[in-house]
Structure 1
Amino acid sequence: MHPVILAEMLIYCLGMLIVGYYFVRREMTQSDYLLGGHKLPGWALALSERATGESAWLLLGATGFAFSTGLSSIWVFIGIPIGIIVAWIFLAKRFMKETQKTGALTIPDYLAVRFGKHAKTIRWLSALLIIYFFMFYLGAQFAGAGKTLSSTFGMSVTAGVLLCAAVVVIYSCMGGFFSVVWTDVIQSFLMIATLVILPIVALIYILLNDLSIHDSLIQAGPSFSSWTGGAVGLAIGVLIVNNFSWFFGYMGGQPQLSARFMALKNEKEANTARNVAIIWTILAYGGAFTIGLCGLALYKTDQFKDVEMVLPQMITDLFPSWIGGILLAGILAAIMSTASSQLLVLTSSVSEDIAHKALGLTLSEKALVRLSRVTVILAGVVGTVIALTSESLVYTVVSWAWAGIGNTFSVAILLTFFWKKTSGVGIIATIISGFISTVIWISTPLDEMLTSRFSTFVIALIFGIIFSLVFPNQQEPTTDVKEAS
């Protein structure tokens, strides 16, 4: 590893720890620790939501996908931004208002409050679903960090996993939501710098060296230069649906993202956050798509054993080491921002949804915060063990998590927000059917024909509607968060 790059990486990690140390000195309530106590500015929450939502998948996976498929990858780069933009325009303020009205700190908490008669069942099912999937999801982030640090910085995979896990666990434990959000802000700037500066420099290099993206697409093969990947007939629709289907997971169902909506404090801050998030999203996804296509002009399609390394290779080839180190830190930033938020979601499910609400433990605010910090450490340890021992399982469950959690909760949230006939039994049916259908769909050849990111949403929606109609809510007053527990 180049000494300049190593120094920059260590400075970055130290900076994250300093942020955590700054907030550990504050007196915090459980609401502060898990949701920032509605004290954070909207622009910071927007940048945090974007950094959290875009892990190394955007910088490595999405750019590698564009490099390996060509123009047909555009449907991913359209579907995801539309989902993000729709969520910020139509769901963010609704989350804020519902949170302020109910006092809920988590998605399971909110759903339980809204359907008081079935509160405990909803709380247990939701919390256990999050804990199961997110424990492996967290392990996947740590494993991804090990792979990234090994490929880009020359560090061993084990050392990379341990370094990332240690830094994330320490600053998340110390400052909770405050330190996670403010470190996300730093990380979002690093990520956007990489995704904006790199394609500009790459395009200039291509122009000055008489290279052509158009010619490289044609040379790569007929599917690369086609917006539909060479598909015909029904296959075109399947390709578009499969790539576009990432959209559904952004409809309020990702707890680590919806927490930022719930933390907004007023209408003005929500408007600011919406604008910042939309601008960041357009720049980031436009940059990632361009990087993939530029890679085709710079390298041969068979040059990489792992196409996800096209972005790090471009940085190494096009920038001096001191600038390259800063941009490469953007990859580590993407991983850490997502991992820390997932860690906090796991913590909230254990300390708030299960210990405090489902089990009804009577604890002081200090004791709740202490329990949350202990949970952060334990979850971090388990996630690290998973990352070091079960890599293949981890990456399988990551696919499950997007559909099993994101699409399942998206249906539950959309029904609760926008359909008055939604019942508690309907929400229970949504959660159970979403989980079961995801596991079955991904475990069979069905997923190769039509992605579970689409099927889970449709199946959970159908079950939610049918069971809400068959088992409507009894007329009862809306309970507050304390009564529902």
Structure 2
Amino acid sequence: MVILVEIILYLLAMLGIGWYFSRKEINHSEFLLGTDRIPAWVIAFSERATGSSAWLMLGYTGFVFSSGLSAVWMAVGSILGALVAWIFLAKKFMKDSNEKQVLTLPMFIVERFDNNKRLILYSSSLLIVIFFIFYLGAQVAGAGKTLFTTFEISPIVAMVLCTLIVIILSFWGGFSSVVWTDMIQGIMMLLTLTVVPLVALYHIINQDLSISATLSSAGGGMDSWTGGLTGFALGILFFNNFSYFFGYLGGQPQLSSRFMALKGKKEVKIGIISVVIWSIFSYGGAFLIGLTARTLYNNTNFADVETILPFMINDLLSPWIAGLLLAGVIAAIITTANSQLMVIVSSITEDILNQGTKIKLRDTQLVKIGRTLVVTVGILGLVLAMVSQSLVLLVISWAWAGVGCTLSAVIILMFFWKRFSSIGAVATIITGLISTIIWISTPLEGILTSRFTTFFIAAFFGIVFSLLFPDKKMTVNQDRNSEVIG
């Protein structure tokens, strides 16, 4: 009962923040990208919480439990990817988005080209909507797992409650509400991922257990940083685990929108420092949770290894502390679900309706449409979570490949290769979409993850089509903005 009360109080606090932002009337751009008053460290914590989410708290801890030391490369790839994005890409996103006054990643890409704007806009928006609805469903499914493990209540009831919170927060305050609640939830995640492994290590020492001995006796290369593999098999393991790196390189719209919300170089520096601190403690803590869980519960059969963290919290901590830390797990779910929802809504309202059609809509109309879509898409995500039997980590992995790795290839080529053409951008997006769907639908996914292959397949076709179909330079007398974007 104590745990339930604390979680309810936490959720009410989140709703209070959403209500605070709902008091101010906001326009369409503020609904999608916030105001100028969001501090850099808040944006950084929001970006990290959103970029890690349930896959870190539930999926990654379970993966470490099952895989052992070799799972570290997934954390290494994610941390390096985030740092590369903040150090080398954040300033470019901030500068270009402020100059061109764009609100979404698809429009950010479109503004880089003079030709084929309509194809780029629609293909990138379609890519995001398709995969992110499933991404949203995975977060809702994660909420069901957490609350089911904690209270043994129906996962469906738990998913409905989580969806209601997500819808209300996004409906009320838009981007600003999401970023500020993300920041608090990022702190909660950091607290959970720091405290739990320390408590687990205390119990291991008291029981005279050994992590290394447990991993060694488990077999299967769990006590090896290379998974006990060599040669080609080792390369496959490394790239599969490290491959989250490629999705961080500017292609995740819920993360790039945070870069676009920055307002100066000083804010980027503050963001980098915040990201380094958060990532080291959070990813390191999640890795230790998986290892200590294997040591403490080596003889326990878990029906679902992605419920290990909430199980540990309930088992090792007093109800008062457990309630606080379980709120951190739920925070990870809500923070990303909010962001996924806003990305889908912005793709439809801004990219497809506002920029992609000739229909002239007022700001107030766009905000109303956006809020209607928040409810509609939120319910759709709930339905997908109810009917899906897939694991949280698996579904998020697919979305990471389909959207993150595809659009990261576009961003990298766009920023660092002058000959990248508009047809090349379309080819990158379409081949990324098709190759991901084909890859995850065949046994190929079990050999080499689509998070790795999608990035390079999409980039390859982007380069080839750019060389085959270079953009013709517009004449001086032509207005770059004369073409209708759609």
The two structures have a TM-score, normalised by structure 2, of 0.96
| Aligned residue number for residue 209 of structure 2 | 211
Letter in 2 for 1:459: I
Mapping 1:187-266, distance limit 5 Å:
187-266=185-264
Indicate conservation of the 8 Å contact 2:93/2:256, yes or no. Answer: yes
**Within 2, Cα distance between the matches of 1:29 and 1:456?**
37
**Within 1, Cα distance between the matches of 2:56 and 2:116?**
38
Mapping 1:77-92, distance limit 5 Å:
77-92=75-90
| Aligned residue number for residue 131 of structure 1 | 129
Mapping 1:433-472, distance limit 5 Å:
433-472=431-470
Deviations 1:460-479 (A, max 9, x none): 01001111111111112784
Provide the aligned length of Structure 1 versus Structure 2: 483
Superposition deviation, residue 257 in structure 1:
0.8
| Aligned residue number for residue 423 of structure 1 | 421
Indicate conservation of the 8 Å contact 1:99/1:110, yes or no. Answer: yes
| Aligned residue number for residue 358 of structure 1 | 356
**Within 1, Cα distance between the matches of 2:220 and 2:384?**
41
Indicate conservation of the 8 Å contact 2:54/2:392, yes or no. Answer: no
Indicate conservation of the 8 Å contact 2:133/2:344, yes or no. Answer: yes
| Aligned residue number for residue 29 of structure 1 | 27
Indicate conservation of the 8 Å contact 2:35/2:176, yes or no. Answer: no
Q: Does the C-alpha gap of structure 1 residues 481 and 286 become closer, same or farther in structure 2, counting only changes over 3 Å?
A: farther
Indicate conservation of the 8 Å contact 1:238/1:450, yes or no. Answer: yes
Indicate conservation of the 8 Å contact 1:190/1:329, yes or no. Answer: yes
Deviations 1:206-238 (A, max 9, x none): 223322111111121151111111212211111
Deviations 1:398-451 (A, max 9, x none): 433111111000000111111111110000000011011111111111112211
**Within 2, Cα distance between the matches of 1:198 and 1:102?**
45
| Aligned residue number for residue 147 of structure 1 | 145
Deviates more, 1:170-179 or 1:294-303: 294-303
| Aligned residue number for residue 343 of structure 2 | 345
**Within 2, Cα distance between the matches of 1:395 and 1:284?**
17
Superposition deviation, residue 204 in structure 1:
2.2
Mapping 1:23-422, distance limit 5 Å:
23-300=21-298, 302-392=300-390, 397-422=395-420
Q: Secondary structure at the match of 1:228?
A: coil
Indicate conservation of the 8 Å contact 2:204/2:296, yes or no. Answer: yes
Superposition deviation, residue 393 in structure 1:
9.8
**Within 2, Cα distance between the matches of 1:167 and 1:282?**
29
Indicate conservation of the 8 Å contact 1:113/1:479, yes or no. Answer: no
Superposition deviation, residue 74 in structure 1:
1.4
Deviations 1:19-48 (A, max 9, x none): 111111112121111011343111010011
Superposition deviation, residue 140 in structure 1:
1.8
Q: Does the C-alpha gap of structure 1 residues 470 and 479 become closer, same or farther in structure 2, counting only changes over 3 Å?
A: same
The two structures have a TM-score, normalised by structure 1, of 0.96
Indicate conservation of the 8 Å contact 1:55/1:334, yes or no. Answer: yes
Letter in 1 for 2:61: T
Gaps of 5+ in 1: none
Indicate conservation of the 8 Å contact 2:248/2:404, yes or no. Answer: yes
Please tell me whether residue 10 in structure 1 is matched to residue 4 in structure 2. no
Letter in 2 for 1:429: A
Indicate conservation of the 8 Å contact 2:171/2:374, yes or no. Answer: yes
Superposition deviation, residue 303 in structure 1:
2.9
Deviations 1:299-340 (A, max 9, x none): 115532222222222212221101001101111100000000
Q: Secondary structure at the match of 1:230?
A: coil
The CA RMSD over aligned residues, in Å, is 1.7
Letter in 1 for 2:173: G
Superposition deviation, residue 484 in structure 1:
4.2
Q: Secondary structure at the match of 2:459?
A: helix
Indicate conservation of the 8 Å contact 2:149/2:311, yes or no. Answer: no
Indicate conservation of the 8 Å contact 1:71/1:229, yes or no. Answer: yes
Deviations 1:322-371 (A, max 9, x none): 10011011111000000000000000011000010001321222222122
Deviations 1:35-63 (A, max 9, x none): 11343111010011111111111111111
Letter in 1 for 2:226: T
Paired-residue identity, %: 52
Gaps of 5+ in 2: none
